[in-house]
Structure formats: C-alpha cells, structure tokens
C-alpha cells in the first residue's frame, strides 16, 4: 500500500486498552479457554490485556513476520505456537487482520482455535471469529508503539 493511498488511523495507548478490553467482553461468553496464543509482535499488548481480563495464565506465542517497511511481503513463520496443538480450546489474539495471510498461516497451524483481533480489514475479516473494529482496506493503523510524542506547530504558524 503506498502512502498516498493510505488513510491514517492513529491509536493511542488508552484507546488500544479500551478496545482490547471490549474484545475480552466479546470473548467472555465463549470461554473458558485453555490457553492463549499471542501473535508477535502486534498481538502481544492486546493478548496481555485479554489474558488479564479473562484470567488466562497459559500463554504461548506464534512468531510471524509479514510486514517489511509498511508493506506486506513474504510471510515468515519464525516460531509456531507449540503448546496449542491443533488449537482445540485455545484463543489466538492479534492486533489486526489485514490481507489475511497471517490469519491463513495461523488457521493452518491451529484450525480449531478461536481467532480474535482488535481490528479487522475487509480482506481478512472472514478469517477471524471475533473482532471489535472494522477499518477500510486502505487504512494504515498507527499503533502506539509506532509513534513517539512530538511537538507540533501551532495552526497560526502553519500558514504559508
């Protein structure tokens, strides 16, 4: 996705916490879950919040790399979830489902797991079981770990 096509969607730490907690509320009636698989790296923070809210203490990771310089490239499975087996009774948590390529890899690893994300884009949405917020395919979500506080120019100083 080129920068000129992307719509910016910045997410604050507070908003991510609130939306991850909303995800936990949606998952509450579907549990209890035997354990949780956090998808690295983006799914680590939402997974920690969901695990706390649902009192899940058994946590594994699936380490998958798919983004390189804001472009989705080759999918690398660096470490599969080892404790979850076929996923029976397990919950997979990620921050976002975008094109669905990572979701397809996770589904192949753990076909019986319940897959939940905080955000979903249309191309990947059919691959997740539960999500909170849908955004358009051309939206680039800036998560709090992608941003740093910066001084801004007052509006009056921007007149040129």
Helix H or strand E segment including 9:
strand 7-10
Token pair, residue 44, equals 């680590």
Catalytic residue among 3, 98, 129, 138: 98
SS (H, E, C) 23-59: HHHHHHCCCCCCEEEEEECCCHHHHHHHHHHCCCCCE
86 is catalytic: no
Whose tokens are 């996705």? That residue is: 1
| Residues 6+ away with beta carbon under 8 Å from 29 | none
Catalytic residue among 86, 94, 129, 146: 94
Please state, as a whole number, how many other Cβ atoms lie within 10 Å of the Cβ of residue 100.
18
Catalytic residue among 60, 71, 95, 138: 95
71 is catalytic: no
**Contact yes or no for 44/60 (Cβ under 8 A):** no
Beta bridge partners of 139: 7
Catalogue the active-site residues: 94-95, 98
């Amino acid at each position: 996705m080129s920068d000129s096509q992307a719509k910016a969607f910045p997410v604050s730490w507070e908003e991510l916490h609130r939306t991850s907690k909303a995800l936990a509320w949606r998952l509450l009636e579907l549990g209890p879950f035997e354990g949780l698989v956090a998808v690295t790296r983006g799914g680590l923070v939402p997974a920690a919040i969901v695990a706390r809210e649902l009192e899940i203490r058994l946590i594994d990771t699936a380490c998958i790399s798919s983004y390189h310089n804001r472009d989705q490239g080759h999918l690398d499975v660096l470490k599969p979830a080892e404790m979850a087996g076929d996923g029976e009774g397990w919950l997979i948590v990620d921050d976002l489902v975008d094109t669905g390529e990572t979701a397809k890899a996770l589904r192949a690893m753990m076909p019986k797991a319940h897959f939940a994300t905080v955000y979903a884009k249309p191309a990947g949405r059919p691959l997740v079981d539960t999500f909170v917020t849908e955004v358009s395919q051309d939206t680039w979500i800036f998560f709090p770990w992608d941003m740093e506080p910066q001084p801004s120019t007052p509006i009056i100083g921007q007149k040129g």
